[in-house]
Amino acid sequence: MKLKLDVAEMAEEFFEDAHLMGIVAPIRDYQFCWHLNQHLRFRFRVNVDLEIQMTKKNRHYYFPIYEYQEPQLYRAHYLYRNQHDGEYLLPEFRHLDYIWLTKGENIQEGLITEIAQTIRSFNGVQLVVEMTNEKIRNKEHLIF
């Protein structure tokens, strides 16, 4: 008997309380996180347990995920690096350097807008765009 993993259902559950932004900022991830931590008063840290590993053409690619859990709130922020050594986590969005995912309860649209405006003010940031998970073809790459 073969069991089949229902990725579509898993993705639907994962994204049901999520907001996504795409960011074009050709700067190092640690520098970008430093700006986020300074300007938004967040505490992004790399979470090696969430790192996404991909194998293509007998090569291994590693995509770090930075995480910040808001204290006293059921809300978490995840920052994915979209590119590693010429390979992309989301190939349909090659132009994006980072994917920002906010998950949690009671996320007001104003919060996402405020975060996006703050990020736009950073030196080196060229674009911040809100995304919908329906437009992502490789949703399973974001699920941890």
42 assigned to some structural domain: yes
120 assigned to some structural domain: no
| Number of structural domains found in the chain | 1
- The pTM of this model reads 0.88
**CB count in 10 Å sphere of residue 39:** 13
Tell me how long the chain is.
144
Distance (Å) of CA 115 to CA 20, 25, 41, 140: 11, 15, 11, 25
**CB count in 10 Å sphere of residue 42:** 18
Give the structural domain span for 34: 16-90
Q: What tens digit of pLDDT does each residue of 99-116 get?
A: 999 998 878 878 899 999
SS3 labels along 120-131: HCCCCCCEEEEE
Q: What tens digit of pLDDT does each residue of 21-75 get?
A: 999 999 999 999 999 999 999 999 999 999 888 888 888 899 999 999 998 888 9
